[in-house]
Amino acid sequence: MKRIKVKTPAKINLTLEVLNKREDGFHNIQSIMQAISLYDYLSFEIQENEGIEIKLDGNSKNIPYDSSNLVHKAAVKFFEKAGISDIKLDIYIEKNIPIAAGLAGGSTNAAGTFYALNKLFNNVLSLSEIDELCASLGSDINFCLKGGCCLCSSRGEKIENLPTYIQKVSLIKPKNLGISAKEAYMNFSKLSNKSNPNNTIKLKNLLLTNSFDKSLLYNSLEKALFPSYEELTKIKENVKGSLMSGSGATFFVLDENINTMLDKSRYEIFENLTTIDTGVKEV
């Protein structure tokens, strides 16, 4: 029996500019993604078995513990690629990252699964093979594995390392509101004005000089979702300097804690977080 435990960080999008729709139904994007110090923890235990058996469990009532979970899908993909067919795998997911929140909670767990299983099986797959598995399962799993700060393009799976500008981060999310990426991008497709200010490249150039400008924070999907969700508009109007992360419904603020007149009983608030220059790590 072998065990490993990993921590998988959430991400925010400092910029997210949606470009054109692709033939495969996805959108090309350019985005600067940044890992932050909010973590899920995944514990893995393997032992010999007749055939493949995967069992998931965890502390959250809001995620499935079956084959629809990205963690389960990642494990299946790993075993197929590595040619492993005789193992029992138990995984416990300690969920701290809100789900359907634009923070890559599911994606970072999948990245942690690839990382942990490769460690348990003595790096049977190369880094390039792990990257291929990440890209085959989701658009931001490659980034979640790497972490830090990256320019992400294509669907989001192509990444270019950037320096991490270390700063404080706070999050605010309406309780009981989750938004799927599919819904956000469908709404975006209906917009008549899809122009972007090219803030991604501007911020990239600043980061390369170890500088930062909060005025460059930008998310194309805000304008796609605000008409449908009054809760999001309220955050934008009442939390100074806030920007929606990914496809929502979480907003982040840099360099300070949340200062708002909103009824805090209706929101999840995470304060005293920071940007980090790492990704998935063994605990």
Q: Which residues are catalytic?
A: 11, 140
- Give the count of alpha carbons within 13 A of 67, CB side only: 4
The span from the CA of 39 to the CA of 108, in Å, is 9
Identity at 206, one-letter amino acid code: L
CA proximity to 56, closest of 113, 121, 124: 113
The span from the CA of 242 to the CA of 254, in Å, is 8
How close are the terminal C-alpha atoms of the chain, in Å?
A: 18
Give the CA dihedral 169, 170, 172, 173, nearest 10 degrees: 50
